[in-house]
Amino acid sequence: MQAKETLFADLVQGRAQQFQVPLYQRTYSWTEKQLGQLWTDILDQAELLESGEKASTHFLGSVVLAPSPQNEATFPRWLVVDGQQRLTTLSLALTAIRDHIADAEPDEAERIDDEYLVNKRKNGSDHFRLLPTQADRAQFAAYVRGPLSEQAVGGAVAAAYSFFRRKLVEAADPAAPQDVFRIEQAITSRLTLVAVTAERGDNVHRIFESLNNTGLKLSQADLLRNYLFMRLPTRGEHVYETYWLPLQDSLSNDELEQLMWLQLVLDGDDRVRRQDLYAAQQQRFERGEVSEAEIEAYIKKLYRRGALFRRLLYPDVEPNAAVRGHLHRLDTWQAQVTYPALMLLLDRRERGDLNSMDTARAMSYVESFLVRRMMCRVPTNNLNRIFQAVPGQLPLDMPVADGLHQLLSAENRFWPDDDELREKVRTAPFYKFGRGHQRKMVLQRLEESYEHPEPVDFAAAQLTIEHVMPQSPGDEWLRMLSEDVVDGESPKDLHSRLQHTLGNLTLTAVNSELSNHPFERKQDLLQGSHLEMNRRIAATERWGADEIRTRADELTDRAIALWPAPLRGVGRAERSRDWNLAHQVLAALPHGTWTSYGDLAAFIGSGAQAVGNHLANTPGVANAYRVLTSDGKVSDGFRWTPQDVGGDVRARLTADGVRFTANGAADPAQRLSADGLASLVGEADDQADGEEDAAQHTPESQGDQTDADPFYLQLVAENSPERRFFRQLAADNSRETVEAVRALFARWEELGGSIVTVGNDTTGASLVLGEAGAPPSEISPVSLTPGCGLGGTAYFNFQWLAVQEPFTNSSLRAEFLRLLNELEGVDLQERQPGQGPDPSFPLSVLEKDHNRELIVEALMWFRDRWKGRGTD
């Protein structure tokens, strides 16, 4: 075996060659956690390139290669024994960059293709530089080859590609733009790999087993400890017993490693990454002759700061009540990203540079910085850099607390002021950003601000977030909202805009009892609440748009008092950030989906007309043509910008997997609502720091379910292609309806059909016969939507069937309709092509066993007619 250090560009560039992932390898499996960390490393390297610093490259890991049995002298082929996850991810990142610049820089896009992704003069599977394992091959090829096909829907490969498309749009934020070609350079020439090449006679399977053999690896803390005590030949035993052993006993190995990293940051190294801790500290000690006394001083300082670090981990050990309160809230927020700033404050207090009152004041700025940014939907992607830079950037000519206030108020820190906070509380869908525990903490602090004489014990209370105006409004709610609509907006559109705003949210322990009841019923329950905010809601005569906005203004006043504002005179963050969020979510639209102007407006807290104007006048917005009217039509006012590559909009939509009914409307089952759009970026933001967002699995994020519902937890844990569809279904429908749909899907699959769900955020499912994604050899009689606030619905695709053999025969369509109308509670009327949407009925109809038997019989009849087409 031969091993050498290399770069991605050096590995894959040059002559035509191919890297093949063997069948015994697992499928591609990187998630947001690994992708987020890699993206952070890429941006770090891109910044180093921009600054011209001669810093070390980032070591990404190893790649183990062996000659393929198909190897040819003129076309080398390599088996990827280890490292396929890295190679696949980097290839997808470059594919996303190619597509990101394709319209504006077609020559550069072609260069990326030729240099890294394809063998230009090879055909078939030989065309691809990287050939993933069999299960991933078709989907990976679909993205590299383009344009996308149905094979590209869903899966880890699609999710990774979508991640990079969204991050590239985010990186192009006008407020802090990053050069896309510098990002490409960072990927290809700043990420170091160790390429281990096996000889032809080596046992590849033995190598694979050895590489993947489980075992405990030495951590960064282990390596650094060993290094330090090798440098203490005479003082080692005393230092170990006096400082190191107590420190090691008080912290876990991971916590000790984090403390060592924080020590480097506090000492002024604002660029060191935790994974580079050992190398960075070793480099500092080897810059000159380091005595045992200096090593001992380092460990002694580490020991002293270990006691301070424990206060971040266990706030109850902090003696001062005000500081303890802030530490508790930041711990609840899971704000580990702020540790450099918090450690600096505790360290300076211990040194006597500030007292506990000023320490608490400085921590209030940190807390406000996080809370206001979350409430105003500022992305979290740069928080690590902001707080890691605090020790090195803190002004030296003013008190510590004032210096931190000024530093965080800098214009490029995007700390929202009072005006922006007031606007966002009124308009932004608070419920769809941040993490569940963070949203809950904001509401808890707002409740505490009323200073009720008998406050609720929040630690003991089982409180969840409640929508006062429910997510699934009944007729009474819609009638009330009809009194508040303006400018031709429908009650449903108004509901979509207001339902998730802070003014419509509260905390309650009787979530299931409140449910979707009319406001009068909710008033009675809220009146008996121990929470002051609920009593104030109950004292309101009605609960419409004006009341929600009035409460939003009241809560904003309290938020402004609780969380201090940035210093004046540094300017307010531009609204372009909202448009950048819209650009991100459009870039992340999964294949086979579309959205409406109203949905996109509700997602960013704007208006449909403003969204239309922005898209019409902003060149280069990815997937802008996939924003349609609410009935699935291309807007009469849609125009390509002069800089965009135009063409027939409907043809572009069809190529992107959007289906059309006979009347020319996009399939409603493929529409992503505002909630669906939020999940495309919301979950990613939740996991930006490498942790899975438990809030996405808690009841408050899923239609106010209860923690004790084992059926709901079963749905959340289920690892099937329909998982997201069922999560939304459970959020918006009764348990009986969800069980009925699951039973229907099972029977359909028994009949030889399949279930096709839409994208990463499933907002629709279709019953399909034939080879999915290969029209005309597939057909779908039924599409289902989970509700997204309005209850689940079954749509019968009659207008599509009208042009599909053998159902172009009107008598067959009529017979199918008759069979469906035998279901109790169903009365469907076929519409002629172009005359309104397809007929539908509520999914709750399927709760009755008899109705499920009848619909299965109708579907069997449908299957038999379709399979027998052309035999008459």
What is the DSSP secondary structure assignment for residue 351, as one 8-state letter?
A: T
Residue 514 has phi, psi (to 5 degrees) of -70, -45
Top pLDDT among 497 and 673 is at 497
For the ranges 519-523, 574-578, 819-823, the one whose mean pLDDT is highest: 819-823
Whether the predicted pLDDT of 213 surpasses 80: no
Confidence category of residue 791, pLDDT binned at 50, 70, 90: low
At residue 335, does pLDDT exceed 90?
yes
Asked if 452 contacts 443 with a C-beta cutoff of 8 angstroms, the reply is no
| Highest-scoring range by mean pLDDT, 167-171, 367-371, 398-402, 536-540 | 367-371
**Least confidently predicted of 146-160, 508-522, 693-707, 814-828:** 693-707
Q: Where are the alpha helices (DSSP H) in 78-189?
A: 84-101, 106-112, 134-145, 155-171, 180-189
By mean pLDDT, which of 744-748, 751-755, 767-771 is the weakest? Answer: 767-771
Whether the pLDDT of residue 415 is over 80: the answer is yes
Q: Is the pLDDT of residue 571 over 60?
A: no
Percent pLDDT > 90 in the chain is 29
Domain ranges of the chain: 2-211, 217-313, 420-562, 576-670, 698-867
Residues 319, 320, 323, 326, CA torsion sign: positive
Where is pLDDT greater, at 230 or 496? 496
State mean pLDDT over 614-640: 85
Contacts of 159 (CB under 8 A, 6+ apart): 31, 32, 760
pLDDT at 851 over 70: yes
Report CA torsion sign: 223, 228, 233, 234: negative
Does residue 828 register a pLDDT over 80? no
User: Virtual CA dihedral for 381, 387, 393, 397, nearest 10 degrees?
Assistant: 130
Of residues 274 and 420, more confidently modeled: 420
* Residue 64: DSSP 8-state: E
Alpha helices in 212-320 (DSSP H): 220-230, 236-239, 245-250, 253-266, 277-285, 292-313
What's residue 23's pLDDT?
A: 62
Q: Which of 718-722, 802-806, 832-836 has the highest average model confidence (pLDDT)?
A: 802-806
The pair of structure tokens assigned to 105 is 């820089």
pLDDT confidence tier of residue 705, bands split at 50, 70 and 90: very low
pLDDT for the residue numbered 323:
96
Q: Tell me the mean pLDDT in the region 812-816.
A: 87
719/833: higher pLDDT: 833
> In the structure encoding, which two tokens stand for residue 220, read together?
């960064």
Judge whether 186 and 45 are in contact, CB under 8 Å.
yes
Amino acid at 110: E
The answer to whether 347 and 339 have CB atoms below 8 angstroms apart is no
Model confidence at 151, pLDDT cuts 50, 70, 90, reads very low
- Name which of 403-407, 546-550, 715-719, 763-767 the model is least confident about: 715-719
pLDDT of residue 356: 96
Model confidence at 475: pLDDT above 80: yes
Q: Please tell me the predicted confidence (pLDDT) of residue 196.
A: 82
pLDDT at residue 153, as a whole number? 55
pLDDT of 830:
66
Residue 549: pLDDT over 90: yes
User: pTM (2 decimals)?
Assistant: 0.62
3-state SS, residue 147: coil
- State how far the alpha carbon of 379 is from the alpha carbons of 181, 374, 692, in Å: 23, 8, 17
Question: What average pLDDT score do residues 522-529 get?
Answer: 82
Kindly tell me if the per-residue pLDDT of 722 is higher than 80.
no
Least confident span in 5-9, 24-28, 384-388, 396-400: 24-28
Question: Judging by DSSP bridges, how do beta strands 191-197 and 18-20 pair with one another?
Answer: unpaired
Instruction: Kindly compute the dihedral angle of the four CA atoms of residues 467, 470, 471, 477, in this order, to the nearest 10 degrees.
Output: -140
Asked if residues 32 and 687 have their Cβ atoms less than 8 Å apart, the reply is: yes
**Res 710: pLDDT:** 38
pLDDT in tens, 674-700: 877 877 765 433 433 332 233 333 333
- Mean pLDDT, to the nearest integer, of 840-867? 88
At residue 812 the predicted structure's pLDDT band, cuts being 50, 70 and 90, is: confident
| Residue 468, token pair as written in the block | 């006062």
Of 138-152, 536-550, 620-634, the least confident:
138-152
Helix H, strand E, coil C: the string for 801-826 is: HCCCCCCCCHHHHHHHHHHHCCCCCC
Average pLDDT over the chain, rounded to whole?
Answer: 81
Q: Check: CATH 1.20.1250.20 for 576-670?
A: no
Backbone CA torsion sign across 287, 293, 299, 305: negative
Highest mean pLDDT, choosing among 61-75, 308-322, 822-836 = 308-322
pLDDT attached to residue 701:
35
pLDDT at site 707: 33
Q: Is the pLDDT of residue 74 over 80?
A: yes
Question: How many C-beta neighbours within 10 Å does residue 222 have?
Answer: 15
Q: Are 760 and 153 in contact (CB under 8 A)?
A: no
Sheet architecture: strand order including 754-757: 754-757, 765-770, 778-785, 793-796, 840-842
- Res 870 pLDDT > 80: no
Name the more confident of 664 and 140.
140
Confidence band of 228 (pLDDT split at 50, 70, 90) = confident
Work out whether strand 754-757 and strand 765-770 pair parallel, antiparallel, or are unpaired. antiparallel
Report the distance separating Cα 266 and Cα 254, nearest Å: 18
Q: Which residues pair with 196 in a beta bridge?
A: 3, 64
pLDDT tens digits for 14-30?
778 999 887 656 778 89
Q: Does pLDDT of 127 surpass 80?
A: yes
pLDDT of residue 215: 44
